[in-house]
């Protein structure tokens, strides 16, 4: 199978490109950042994205989706990464929606997925607890009570957790931190007594939250899936989040590379266009080579995911690691090649550099994914 978008996927990608440039350009992201918008995204823009069908692309028709697959969605995410489109597409649709799809029973899927796809509710996935992503190292505890369970602990880096109506909370019901068994998923209303949510402001201006749970009472009916067996569906959802995040990052790195090449063709120094200098040509060629490697890796992983290849988790981890490192390198080089203006907030390059730094850690750093790849391969 050719590692390329088909005609329908290309058309969808072009639509996303037009939408991003006209309805959510980089200036819109700047405005959200500068005004310290409490939501972190424009609800009107999100409604338009829902109307265009992007929220339902990967879900079966039985639950209100279009069953279009992740290849098409990744093409859209790539275009959104070029203008840093702010939306809950990653948090509520990809991460939370996928978790419900893989872990939920039929009643939960029938009830929740159409509401997520329509934008009626926002759901955030609460998985991480420390500075670094590691899903199995979970300490938030869920103890059995007369009426269900009681949650105590914290969650960090919850994407869009500050605006979520509900949370999918991964909690430990058995075993010890680091064990893949003994993890249970709970669907929790954010307004429940004992929950404290604080928005976390990071340099990339995406919406995150720290959420504390103090003796939060949960009904047994709020369990998503099976008790102690939540790790596998959680990882399946995380992998889909990772590949979509990687696609978004890939779009960002292409954007700043193209802007840098344009600058090299225009900027004069010592009476010459600086793009004539061989040292800069070598650096640009190196970036281009890495970007094309990222493109191939991304398409290969998406193809494996679409066909449910046995090794798709390894490929996704390899792609996330490669794109994380390359996005950081390209953003660094872009700043340096722009010279003094490259370090000013006036230039958009800095916005991408900040996004590259945080996205490289989100859902697993390069180190995490190299280790995971090796483990899955039996090393």
1 in a structural domain: no
pLDDT in tens, 133-169: 999 999 999 999 998 999 999 999 999 999 999 999 9
Q: Measure Cα distances from 313 to 194, 244, 301, 309 in Å.
A: 36, 13, 8, 9
Residue 23, pLDDT above cutoff 90: yes
Mean pLDDT in residue range 263-282: 93
Predicted confidence at residue 270, as pLDDT, reads 87
pLDDT in tens, 256-271: 999 999 999 999 888 8
Residue 312, pLDDT above cutoff 60: yes
Domain residue limits at 209 = 124-228
Last residue of a domain, one of 120, 141, 171: 120
Predicted confidence at residue 234, as pLDDT, reads 98
User: What is residue 13's DSSP assignment?
Assistant: H
Average pLDDT, the chain: 96
2 in a structural domain: no
Tokens representing 307 are 């066909």
Last residue of a domain, one of 93, 120, 147: 120
Residues 208 and 279 in one domain: no
pLDDT in tens, 106-117: 999 999 999 999
Residues 371 and 238 in one domain: yes
Mean pLDDT in residue range 101-129: 98
Residues 71 and 166 in one domain: no
**Residue 24 CB partners (closer than 8 Å, separation 6+):** 42, 45, 80, 83, 85, 86, 87
Q: How confident is the model at residue 1 (pLDDT cuts 50, 70, 90)?
A: low
Last residue of a domain, one of 120, 148, 182: 120
pLDDT in tens, 317-375: 999 999 999 999 999 999 999 998 999 999 999 999 999 999 999 999 999 999 999 99
Q: H or E stretch including 161? A: none
**Residue 266 CB partners (closer than 8 Å, separation 6+):** 273
53 in a structural domain: yes
Mean pLDDT in residue range 119-131: 96
């Amino acid at each position: 199978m050719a590692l390329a978008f088909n005609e329908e996927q290309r058309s969808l990608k072009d639509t996303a490109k037009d939408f991003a440039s006209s309805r959510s350009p980089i200036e819109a992201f700047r405005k959200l950042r500068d005004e310290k918008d409490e939501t972190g995204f424009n609800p009107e823009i999100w409604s338009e994205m829902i109307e265009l069908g992007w929220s339902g692309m990967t879900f079966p028709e039985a639950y209100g989706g279009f069953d279009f697959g992740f290849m098409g969605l990744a093409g859209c995410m790539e275009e959104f990464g070029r203008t840093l489109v702010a939306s809950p597409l990653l948090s509520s649709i990809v991460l939370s929606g996928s978790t419900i799809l893989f872990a939920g029973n039929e009643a939960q899927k029938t009830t929740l997925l159409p509401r997520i796809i329509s934008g009626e509710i926002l759901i955030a996935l609460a998985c991480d607890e420390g500075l670094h992503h590691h899903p199995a190292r979970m300490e938030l505890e869920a103890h059995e009570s007369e009426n269900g369970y009681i949650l105590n602990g914290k969650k960090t880096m919850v994407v869009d957790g500050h605006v979520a109506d509900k949370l999918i909370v991964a909690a430990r019901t058995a075993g010890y931190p680091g064990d893949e068994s003994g993890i249970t998923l709970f669907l929790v209303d954010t307004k429940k007594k004992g929950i404290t949510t604080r928005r976390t402001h990071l340099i990339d201006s995406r919406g995150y939250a720290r959420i504390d749970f103090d003796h939060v009472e949960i009904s047994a009916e709020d369990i998503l899936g099976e008790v102690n067996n939540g790790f596998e569906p959680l990882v399946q959802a995380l992998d889909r989040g990772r590949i979509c995040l990687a696609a978004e990052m890939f779009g960002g790195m292409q954007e700043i590379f193209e802007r840098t090449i344009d600058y090299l063709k225009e900027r004069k120094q010592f009476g010459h266009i600086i793009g004539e200098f061989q040292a800069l040509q070598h650096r640009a060629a190196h970036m281009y080579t890495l970007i094309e490697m990222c493109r191939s890796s991304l398409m290969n992983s998406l193809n494996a995911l679409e066909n449910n290849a046995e090794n798709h988790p390894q490929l996704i981890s390899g792609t996330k690691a490669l794109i994380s490192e390359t996005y950081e390198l390209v953003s660094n080089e872009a700043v340096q090649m722009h010279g003094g203006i490259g370090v000013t907030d006036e230039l958009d390059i800095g916005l991408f550099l900040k996004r590259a730094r945080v996205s490289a850690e989100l859902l697993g750093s390069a180190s995490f994914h190299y280790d995971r790849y090796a483990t899955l391969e039996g090393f």
